Structure 1
Amino acid sequence: MDSYRGMNREALDRAYNNTAAVPDVAEVMADFGRRSAVIYGRNGIKRDLAYGEGANHRIDWIPGPHAGAPTIAYIHGGYWQSLSKEKFAHIAAGPLSHGFNVALIEYTLAPEARIGTIVSEIGRAIDFLATHLDEWRADPARLCLVGHSAGGHLAACHRSHPAVSLIMGISGLYDLEPIRLSYLNEKLDLTPAEVEVYSPERHASTGVRTLLTVGSAELPELRRQTADYASSLRARGELVEEVTTPGYNHFTILETIALRNGAAIEAVAQALS
């Protein structure tokens, strides 16, 4: 049986089971849902804009109050196989309070789509946004990808996209090998070749400035993934900054982007100023 950093399948399953590590996750998600409903009650939102032909090729556009503002494009997590943009619309409150626009990106989930397809879909979503930012009175030169968990991976895969000016990875997954060897692969069906191609840490290609954060109360493997990716980027001379977020777990870490004074949104705002 394959192992990873001395962990067998059982140990890896525990190491990446974020829900089991947070006893009150149901209450946290219910709170996110209530706050997301408030965001969707705002005027001027464009819902489910199609960036492709697939059922999940959809973007929600939430305009900020001013013309010429930066845009935060948010990619949700769920280990590439669960959840949806609607469950995380609450994160828009932080960027909106700074005057930013927000785009919530949806994508096809595994097992319906393989990892390469999912990565390509995010690229198409970015292309779609890039062609509409002028029309929507947004600054086309300031588009920041923010991704949480699996979304952090998907954001990192597009550091070199010409329309992207900044990346914020929140509790991201940058090496897919432990994912391939854990329970998460039952739906993903990752191959060793896919792990090599789609693990950002293994390439750390030239790209835009990258901000990374992970909660101090998260599982050790999640913290290691961020630290190792940051080291990999630095070793290649890339611009990377780790944002300290003490006390947060894998779900409450989203408060750092959803609240006006959250460490993640303040770091983004400073970088885009």
Structure 2
Amino acid sequence: MLYHVTDWDDAYANGAHIPQAEGFVPRWQDAAARFRKAHPPEPLGRGHLFRPAGRARGLMVFVHGGYWMAFDPGTWSHLAAGALGQDWAVAMPAYTLAPQARIAQMTCEVALAVAEAAGRVDGPVALTGHSAGGHLAARMICNDGTLPDAVAARVTACVPISPLADLRPLLRTAKNATLRLDGSEAMAESPALLSPRPGIPVTTWVGGMERPEFIRQARLLADMWAGLGAPTDCVIDPGRHHFDVIEGLERADSPLMERVLVSR
């Protein structure tokens, strides 16, 4: 069967295709606030750094999504639970949202936050993020100097969740009135069109009930980077949609956390 997108706005619309979608954000915000009360974070610029009770085994970085236009780390604090449960510290960087910033600036801001967090926490670094945050997590390991070499050398895994790996389709959406992408920036900021740093295991993770474009994008990144020599996998999580595919980050023993905190 031919795959042919005719409505690009609908192709990248998530909430419209998820039952009771309006309830997720309030639940996230409530869970995040309760988590911060139990686990007060250190400031990381405008973001957060959570530490385990004892010495940290390493650093997990989670970059939030929201189409580069919405949310901040305070909505997602509870997603640090799984890594903290394995005695890893968790950094949740903040970045300036569109239209105040372009995506290239966001990439630089996240890279600076990752480097700062890595300077505070010893050991391996695991990168993950969701949706637009999955894009930014993948950008961190592109072989273009985004991360300092010393930090990149510590990265043991990158797990972009429901990532936007090729930004060119977004040029066709109404969202681009806010994102202000042009063809040059879309190509320069698309991980699927860039080369990964060698030797870092990459698992793209996407819900089986997500919009077809998100499944295609997750497969695309894994396939493109596999062709450039990276160790990659694409996991399609059955029954999960765009809003609940991240829930495995809350559990220390989930299959998703196994991929994020894999030992290299």
Aligned residues: percent identity? 29
1:133-152 correspondence runs (5 A):
133=121, 139-140=122-123, 142-152=124-134
Counterpart of 2:130, as a letter, is H
Counterpart of 2:201 (choices 204, 209, 221) is 209
Q: 1:43 to 1:268 in 2, by over 3 A?
A: closer
Counterpart of 2:16 (choices 20, 25, 29) is 20
Give the structure 2 partner of residue 248 of structure 1: 240
Pairs aligned (count): 252
Give the structure 1 partner of residue 78 of structure 2: 90
Please list every run of 5 or more consecutive structure 1 residues that lacks an aligned counterpart in the other structure.
Answer: 51-57, 134-138
CA contact (8 A) 1:70 1:272 kept: no
Counterpart of 1:108, as a letter, is T
Q: Which moved more, 1:205-214 or 1:96-105?
A: 205-214
Deviation, structure 1 residue 197: 0.6
Cα RMSD for the two superposed structures: 1.6
CA distance in 2, matches of 1:127, 1:73: 10
Q: 1:206 to 1:34 in 2, by over 3 A?
A: same
TM-score by length of 1: 0.87
1:14-53 correspondence runs (5 A):
14-47=10-43, 49-50=44-45
CA distance in 2, matches of 1:81, 1:200: 19
Q: Which moved more, 1:147-156 or 1:124-133?
A: 124-133
Give the structure 1 partner of residue 5 of structure 2: 7
1:122 maps onto 2:114 in alignment = no
Q: Secondary structure at the match of 1:96?
A: helix
Q: Secondary structure at the match of 1:146?
A: strand
Q: Secondary structure at the match of 2:112?
A: helix
TM-score by length of 2: 0.90
1:157 maps onto 2:149 in alignment = no
CA distance in 2, matches of 1:59, 1:106: 5
Give the structure 2 partner of residue 263 of structure 1: 255
Counterpart of 2:205, as a letter, is T
CA distance in 1, matches of 2:202, 2:68: 21
CA contact (8 A) 1:80 1:150 kept: yes
CA distance in 1, matches of 2:100, 2:35: 29
CA contact (8 A) 1:168 1:211 kept: yes
CA contact (8 A) 2:134 2:161 kept: yes
Counterpart of 1:76 (choices 54, 58, 64) is 64
Counterpart of 2:77, as a letter, is A
Counterpart of 1:237 (choices 229, 233, 236) is 229
Give the structure 1 partner of residue 189 of structure 2: 198
Counterpart of 1:178 (choices 169, 192, 203) is 169
